[in-house]
Chain A
Amino acid sequence: MTEPVLEVRGVAKRYGSVVALRSAELTVAPGEIHALLGANGAGKSTLVKIMAGVLPADEGELLVDGRPLRPRRPSDAFRAGVATVFQDPTFIPDLTVAENLRLAGIDRRRFSSWLPQLGLAELDLGALVKELPLPLLRLLDLARALAHEPRLLVLDEITAALPGDQAELVFEAMTRHRDAGGAVLFITHRLREVLRMCDRATVLRDGRTVARLKPSEGDESALVEPMLGETVARAATEAEAEAEAAPANPAAARVATPDAPIALEARELRVRGRLNGVTLRLHAGEIVGLVALEGQGQDRLFDVLAGDRPADSGEILVAGEPVRPRSPYDMVRRGVVLVPADRLMALLPQQSLRVNLASALYNRVSRWFRLAPDEASRVTETVRRLDIDTRAARQVRRLSGGNQQKVAIGRWLTAGFRTLLCFDPTRGIDIRTKEQIYGLLRELAADGAAVLYYTSELAEVPLVCDRVLVMYGGAIVHELPAASADEPTLLNAAHGLQEAST
Chain B
Amino acid sequence: MTTDPSAGAGGGLPESTASGVATQPTAPRRLDPTLQVVRRYAWPIAVWLLLGAMILWYSTLIPQFTDFQVTSIAKNSLPAVYLALAQGVIVIAGGVDLGAGALMVLANAVSANLMEGQPLWMVTLIAIGVVLGAAALNGFVGYVIAVSGIPDIVVTLATLFIFTGIALIVLPTPGGGTNGGLRYVFTGAETGVGTNYWPSIAMIAIPTALLAIWLGRTRSGLAIYALGSDENAAHLSGVNIRRTKITSYAVGGGFAGLAGVALTAIANSGDPRFDNAVNGTLNSVAAVVLGGIILGGGMGSVVGAAGAGIVFFTLSPILTAMGVDPNTGQVVRGVVIVAVMVVAGLLQWWRRRKQ
- Seen from chain A, the residues whose Cβ lies within 8 Å of a Cβ on chain B are 52, 54, 73-75, 78, 86, 88-95, 99-100, 102-105, 119-120, 122-124, 126-128, 130-136, 159-167, 190, 192-193, 273-274, 276, 293-296, 298-300, 302-303, 340-342, 423-424, 427, 456-459, 473-475, 487, 491, 494
Interface string of B23-65 (1 = CB under 8 A from A): 1111110110100100010000000000000000000000000
**Known contacts A74-B235, A94-B229, A295-B4; A456/B17 CB under 8 A:** yes
- For window 232-269 of B, CB contacts with A under 8 Å fall at 232-240
Given known contacts A294-B17, A300-B12, A424-B16, is B237 in contact with A133 (CB within 8 Å)? no
How far does the Cβ of B221 sit from chain A's closest Cβ, in whole Å? Answer: 9
Q: How far is the CB of B291 from chain A (nearest CB, A)?
A: 16
Contact between chains at A136 and B229 (CB < 8 Å): no
Question: B236 to chain A: which residues have CB within 8 Å?
Answer: 52, 54, 74, 86, 88, 90
B1–A93 touching, CB < 8 Å:
no
The answer to whether A167 touches B240, judged by C-beta atoms less than 8 angstroms apart, is no
Cα distance, A340 to B217, chains bound together (Å): 39
Query: Which of these, B27, B237, B299, contacts A100 with CB under 8 Å?
Result: B237
Q: Tell whether, in the assembled complex, residue A342 and residue B13 are in contact, meaning their CB atoms are under 8 Å apart.
A: yes
A341 and B21: CB pair below 8 A? no
Tell me the bound Cα distance from A238 to B155 in angstroms.
59
Q: Which of B10, B25, B238, B240 contacts A104 (CB under 8 A)?
A: B238
In the assembled complex, the Cα of A73 lies from the Cα of B30 at a distance in Å of 35
30 contacts between A and B (CB under 8 A): A54-B235, A54-B236, A75-B238, A88-B233, A93-B230, A103-B222, A103-B237, A124-B30, A131-B10, A132-B9, A132-B28, A133-B7, A134-B14, A135-B8, A135-B25, A136-B27, A190-B19, A192-B19, A293-B21, A293-B22, A294-B15, A294-B23, A299-B8, A303-B13, A341-B14, A423-B13, A427-B16, A456-B17, A458-B20, A473-B1
Among residues of B, the one whose C-beta sits closest to the C-beta of A73 is B240
CA distance A88 to B20 in the complex (A): 23
Given known pairs A127-B27, A133-B25, the reply for A92 and B20 (CB within 8 Å) is no
Q: Which residues of B contact A273 (CB under 8 A)?
A: 2, 4
Interface residue B18 (Cβ < 8 Å from any Cβ of A): yes
Partner of B27, one of A95, A123, A473: A123
Question: What are the residues of chain A within 8 A of B278 when measuring CB–CB?
Answer: none
Q: A103-B226, A473-B1 are in contact. Are A294 and B21 (CB under 8 A)?
A: yes
Contact of B233 among A91, A303, A459 (CB under 8 A): A91
- The one of A99, A136, A165, A295 in contact with B15, judged by C-beta atoms closer than 8 angstroms, is A295
The interface residues of chain A lying within 8 Å CB-to-CB of B18 are 164, 456-459
B21 to chain A, nearest CB (A): 5
Chain B contacts for A459, CB-based, 8 A: 18
* Nearest CB on A from B316, distance (A): 34
Q: Which residues of A are found within 8 Å of B228, using beta-carbon distances?
A: 94
Given A164-B19, A340-B13, list of 12 further CB < 8 A pairs? A88-B232, A94-B230, A94-B299, A132-B28, A134-B15, A161-B16, A165-B22, A299-B15, A456-B18, A458-B20, A475-B1, A491-B21
B231 to chain A, nearest CB (A): 10
Residues of B within 8 A of A100 (CB): 237
Tell me, rounded to whole Å, the shortest Cβ–Cβ distance linking B147 to chain A. 15
Contact A95 B1 (CB under 8 A): no
Residue from B2, B12, B26, B33 whose CB has the most chain A CB atoms within 10 Å: B12
Knowing A128-B40, A294-B23 touch, does A75 contact B4 (C-beta < 8 A)?
no
Tell me how far the C-beta of B160 lies from the nearest C-beta in chain A, rounded to whole angstroms. 29
CB <8 Å contact, A294 and B8 = yes
Chain A contacts for B21, CB-based, 8 A: 163-164, 293-294, 456, 458, 491, 494
In which size bucket is the chain B interface?
35 or more
Contact A160 B16 (CB under 8 A): yes
Question: A73 near B4 (CB under 8 angstroms)?
Answer: no
Tell me the residues in window 293-320 of chain B with beta carbons closer than 8 Å to chain A beta carbons.
Answer: 298-299
Q: What is the distance, in angstroms, from B106's C-beta to the closest C-beta of chain A?
A: 33
State the Cβ distance, A216 to closest chain B Cβ, in Å. Answer: 19
Kindly state whether residue B276 has any CB partner on chain A within 8 Å. Answer: no
Asked if B219 lies at the interface with its beta carbon under 8 angstroms from chain A, I say: yes
B352–chain A nearest beta-carbon distance, Å? 12
> Which are the 10 A-B pairs with shortest beta-carbon distances?
A295-B7, A75-B238, A94-B229, A299-B13, A133-B25, A90-B236, A165-B22, A94-B298, A103-B222, A341-B13
A474 to B7, CA, bound (A): 12
Asked if A92 contacts B237 (CB within 8 A), the reply is yes
B173 interface residue per 8 A CB criterion = no
B19 to chain A, nearest CB (A): 5
Could you mark each residue 192-235 of chain B with 1 if its beta carbon is under 8 Å from any beta carbon of chain A, else 0?
00000000000000000000000011110011011011101111
Residues of B within 8 A of A74 (CB): 235-238
CA distance A124 to B22 in the complex (A): 23
**Cα separation A194 to B240 with both chains bound (whole Å):** 35
Are A103 and B233 touching (Cβ within 8 A)? no
The answer on a CB contact under 8 Å between B14 and A295 is: no
Q: Which listed residue (B2, B10, B233) contacts A90, Cβ 8 A?
A: B233
| A75-B25 contact, Cβ under 8 Å, with A92-B225, A103-B226 | no
Partner of B238, one of A73, A458, A487: A73
In the complex the two chains form, is B226's CB within 8 Å of A73's CB?
no
Say how far A108's CB is from chain B's closest CB, in angstroms: 13
Nearest-CB distance from B309 to chain A (Å)? 22
The closest CB in chain A to the CB of B240 belongs to A73
Which of B9, B234, B237 is within 8 Å of A134, CB to CB? Answer: B9
Which residues of A sit under 8 angstroms from B216, Cβ to Cβ?
99
Q: Is the CB of A163 within 8 A of B234?
A: no
Q: Does B279 contact A (CB under 8 A)?
A: no
Q: Is B328 on the interface with A (CB-CB < 8 A)?
A: no
B118 sits at the interface (CB 8 A)? no
- Interchain nearest-CB distance for A423 vs B (Å): 6
Most buried by B among A90, A274, A491: A90
Specify which chain B residues have a CB less than 8 angstroms from the CB of A94 in the assembled complex: 225, 228-230, 298-299
B1 pairs with A276, CB closer than 8 A? yes
Q: Which residue of B lies closest to A165 (CB)?
A: B22
Q: In the complex, how many angstroms separate the beta carbon of A80 from the nearest chain B beta carbon? A: 12
B117-155 CB mask vs A (1 if < 8 Å, else 0) is: 000000000000000000000000000000000000000
Q: Are B229's CB and A92's CB within 8 A? A: yes
- Measured CB to CB, the nearest residue on chain B to A135 is B25
A166 to B19, CA, bound (A): 10
Bound CA–CA A123/B28 (angstroms): 8
A163–B23 touching, CB < 8 Å = yes
B13 in complex: contacting residue of A131, A165, A193, A302, CB < 8 Å? A302
A122-B30 contact in complex given A165-B22, A165-B24, A294-B23, C-beta closer than 8 Å: yes
Chain B positions within 8 Å of A299 at CB level: 8, 12-13, 15
B6 within 8 A of A: yes
- The answer to whether B3 has its CB under 8 Å from any CB of chain A is yes
Contacts of A424 in B (CB 8 A): 15-16
CA–CA, A73 and B217, complex, Å: 23
A494 closest partner in B (C-beta)? B21
Whose C-beta in chain B lies nearest to the C-beta of A100? Answer: B237
Instruction: Report yes or no: B222 in contact with A102, Cβ–Cβ below 8 A.
Output: yes
A474-B1 in contact (CB<8A): yes
A89 to B229, CA, bound (A): 13
Q: How far is the CB of B33 from chain A (nearest CB, A)?
A: 6
> In the docked arrangement, what's the CA distance between A162 and B2, Å?
22
The docked-state distance in angstroms from the alpha carbon of A133 to that of B225 is: 21
- Give the Cβ gap from A446 to chain B, nearest Cβ, in Å: 27
